[in-house]
Structure 1
Amino acid sequence: MNFDEIKEKLFSEDDSDVFTALSNIENNPDEGYGKILLERIKKEKNNFIVIKIMEIASKIESDELIEGIFRNLKNTKDEYIKATLIKLLSNSTEKDYKEFIKTNLFNQDDRVRANAVECVENLKMKEAVPDLVKLLKDNSARVKINAAKALYRFGDERMLKVFEKLLYSKDRFVGESVLHTLKVIGGEKTYAILKDFLDNCKNERLTIKLLDIFADIGKEDVIHLIRQRTTGHNPKVQESAQFAIKRILKRQNDIKRCSSCGSVSKAGMKFCGSCGKSLV
Structure 2
Amino acid sequence: MQGEIALVTGAAGGLGLPVVKRLAAQGAVVVATDISASGITEAKRSTDRFELGAAQGTAAGNGTVYWRELDVADEAAVNEVFDWIAAELGACSILVNNAIKPCAIPHSFIDTGLEQWRSDYSIIVEGAVSCSRAALRQMVAAGRGSIVNISSVNAVGFYGHPPYSAAKAALLSLTRSIAVQYAPQGIRCNAIVPGTIKTPAWAEQVAANPQTFEILRQWYPSGDVAEPEQIAELALFLTSEQSRAVNGASLVADGGLTAGNLAMSRFVEGVPDPA
Q: Please confirm whether the aligned pair reaches a TM-score higher than 0.5, indicating the same fold.
A: no
More helix by share: 1
Please report the TM-score for the alignment, with normalisation by the length of structure 2: 0.29
Instruction: Give the TM-score normalised by the residue count of structure 1.
Output: 0.28
Q: Specify which structure has the higher proportion of strand.
A: 2
Return the index of the structure with the highest Cα Rg.
1
If asked which structure has higher relative contact order (CA below 8 Å, sep 6+), I would say: 2
